[in-house]
């Protein structure tokens, strides 16, 4: 397996584009994106667990009932959520896109992201679709990634190449996510494409199994969004024998999918609103996997710890505090904590108690852009990883006037 360029267009038969159609006032920001497969593709998706769901999710669920899709249309700048005509708008977005592409409206994944509770004007979207379709390109992943951004500061895209059944396959993805990100599912928009041949049932199994250890292990701010989803389209153009059951090929596909999703998780966490640092909590020695995940999530969600990481303060007591209220069954007298970055590793706690360490060394380690929080529990062999970011002054600034 190796990293390749191309993002969502790395796989055979996929093109993409992103434009400014007029939803957002800033004409320099793209606000409408399209991903297209030259042939119908098997499709799978997972959705936010928030009871308040955007209209596009309702429409997409209906469209994917047959496990097939051929295109994804997504706007930014407006979430199309809590609108009386939201379903109608989402369906009309699908219909206009289908007409321009010459495909069925039921084969469209529709998504929106942005401000909640604001009416979404369909006119700029319908007016922009001809330009969007005309500009579809095998080099369009970058433009599409830009078109789905809201408060994101960087585009997020990745692709890998791997082998199935003697055939070269590719899988790639783009994502948006900077705020309103918190487990569980989906907490962001992620669109993944692959030319591997895999049935829709096995594709759903692969995606549902993967997110438990990837996208469900991210937290930026403790808020689970209303609109977000992860979708995968597999058009089979790589020519491998279709994966219809578990086995070596399914495992290889899962590994490739996980490589893409972990990379996107890290990009999303590192680009949290106002963030200056990517935090990765690695828990080892747990009694079982649920315990490891619970501890990792609790640590990464701690606002006090996130603030300490912003200040490069090795306040390890906040790690133990988060473990203590996590609800996990842990023997606190066995807990160890270390901080690690490119500048080295410093152990700050062993057997549930503090140990002597150099504050100067700890400060140097915690001033880096990527910080690992290493937790050992000493109860078993299970482990887990969660991702997040520091909590800064800018988070409040960004969200204080997000709507206005």
Query: For the whole model, what pTM was predicted?
Result: 0.86
Tokens of 126: 């319908």
Q: pLDDT tens across 135-174, in order?
A: 999 999 999 999 999 878 789 999 999 999 999 999 999 9
Domain 278-400, second-level architecture: Roll (3.10)
pLDDT value, residue 309: 95
Q: Residue 349 and residue 324: Cα distance in Å, rounded? A: 15
Q: Is 60 a catalytic residue?
A: no
Which is the catalytic residue, given 48, 81, 113, 187?
Answer: 187
Q: Pairing relation of β-strands 14-19 and 167-176? A: unpaired
List all residues 6 or more positions away from 265 whose beta carbon is below 8 Å from its beta carbon: 214, 215, 217, 218, 387
Q: Residue 107 and residue 105: Cα distance in Å, rounded? A: 5
Taking the domains of the chain in order of start, what are their residue ranges? 2-270, 278-400
Q: Residue 63 and residue 52: Cα distance in Å, rounded? A: 20
Dihedral (CA of 289, 291, 295, 298) sign: positive
Q: Which CATH number fits domain 2-270: 3.20.20.70, 3.60.70.12, 3.30.40.10, 3.40.50.20?
A: 3.60.70.12
Q: pLDDT tens across 192-238, in order?
A: 999 999 999 999 999 999 998 998 888 765 555 555 789 999 999 99
Tell me whether residue 206 is exposed, middle or buried, using C-beta atoms within 10 angstroms of its C-beta: 0 to 12, 13 to 18, 19 or more. buried
The candidate with the shortest Cα–Cα distance to 232, out of 212, 274, 202, 273, is 202
Q: Pairing relation of β-strands 156-164 and 167-176? A: antiparallel
Question: By three-state DSSP, how is residue 386 classified?
Answer: strand
Report whether 218 contacts 187 (CB < 8 A). yes
Asked if the bond preceding 365 is cis, omega within 30° of 0, the reply is: no
Provide DSSP, 23-42: SSS-TTS--EEEEEEEEEEE
Across 148-287, the runs of DSSP E, i.e. the strands, are 156-164, 167-176, 189-194, 229-234, 278-286
Over its length of 404 residues, how does the chain's per-residue pLDDT go in tens digits? 999 999 999 999 999 999 999 998 888 899 999 999 999 999 999 987 777 678 899 999 999 999 999 999 999 999 898 888 999 999 999 999 999 999 999 999 999 988 888 889 999 999 999 999 999 999 999 999 999 998 787 899 999 999 999 999 999 999 987 655 555 544 479 999 999 999 999 999 999 999 989 988 887 655 555 557 899 999 999 999 999 999 999 999 999 999 999 999 888 887 766 678 999 999 999 999 999 999 999 999 899 999 999 999 999 999 999 999 999 999 999 999 999 999 999 999 999 999 999 999 999 999 999 999 999 999 999 999 999 888 887 777 766 765 55
Q: Residue 225 and residue 268: Cα distance in Å, rounded? A: 14
Q: What angle do CA 133, 137, 140 make, to 5 degrees?
A: 100
Q: Which residues pair with 191 in a beta bridge?
A: 174, 231
Tokens of 73: 């249309």
Question: By three-state DSSP, how is residue 213 classified?
Answer: coil
Tokens of 43: 């499709």
Q: pLDDT tens across 390-401, in order?
A: 888 777 776 676
Report whether 340 contacts 376 (CB < 8 A). no
Q: Which residues pair with 113 in a beta bridge?
A: 76, 78
């Amino acid at each position: 397996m190796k990293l390749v360029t191309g993002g969502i267009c790395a796989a055979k038969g996929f093109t993409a584009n992103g434009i400014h159609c007029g939803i957002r006032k800033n004409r320099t920001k793209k606000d409408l994106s399209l991903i297209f497969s030259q042939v119908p593709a098997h499709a799978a998706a997972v959705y936010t667990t928030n009871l308040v769901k955007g209209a596009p999710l309702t429409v997409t669920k209906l469209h994917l009932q047959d496990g097939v899709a051929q295109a994804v249309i997504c706007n930014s700048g407006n979430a199309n959520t809590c609108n009386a005509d939201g379903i109608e708008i989402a369906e009309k977005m699908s219909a206009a896109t289908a007409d321009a592409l010459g495909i069925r409206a039921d084969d469209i994944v529709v998504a929106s992201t942005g401000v909640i509770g604001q009416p979404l004007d369909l006119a700029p979207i319908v007016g922009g679709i001809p330009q969007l379709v005309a500009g579809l390109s095998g080099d369009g992943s970058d433009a599409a990634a830009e078109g789905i951004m809201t408060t994101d500061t960087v585009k997020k895209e990745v692709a890998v190449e791997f082998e199935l059944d003697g055939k070269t396959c590719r899988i790639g993805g783009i994502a948006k996510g900077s705020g309103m990100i918190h487990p569980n599912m989906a907490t962001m928009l992620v669109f993944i494409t692959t030319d591997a041949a895999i049935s829709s049932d096995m594709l759903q199994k692969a995606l549902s199994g993967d997110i438990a250890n990837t996208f469900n292990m991210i937290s930026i701010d403790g808020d689970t969004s209303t609109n977000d989803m992860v979708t995968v389209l597999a058009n089979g153009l790589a020519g491998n024998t279709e994966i219809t059951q578990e086995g070596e090929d399914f495992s290889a596909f899962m590994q490739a999918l996980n490589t893409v999703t972990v990379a996107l998780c890290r990009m999303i966490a590192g680009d949290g609103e106002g963030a200056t640092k990517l935090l990765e909590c690695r828990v080892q020695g747990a009694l079982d996997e649920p315990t490891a995940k619970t501890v990792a999530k609790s640590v990464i969600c701690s606002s006090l710890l996130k603030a300490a990481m912003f200040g490069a303060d090795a306040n390890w007591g906040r790690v133990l505090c988060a473990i203590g209220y996590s609800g996990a069954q842990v023997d606190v007298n066995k807990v160890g904590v270390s901080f690690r970055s490119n500048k080295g590793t410093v152990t700050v706690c062993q057997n549930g108690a503090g140990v002597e360490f150099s504050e100067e060394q700890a400060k140097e380690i915690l001033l880096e852009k990527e910080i690992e929080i290493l937790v050992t529990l000493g109860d078993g062999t299970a482990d887990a990883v969660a991702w997040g970011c520091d909590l800064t002054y800018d988070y409040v600034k960004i969200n204080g006037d997000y709507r206005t």
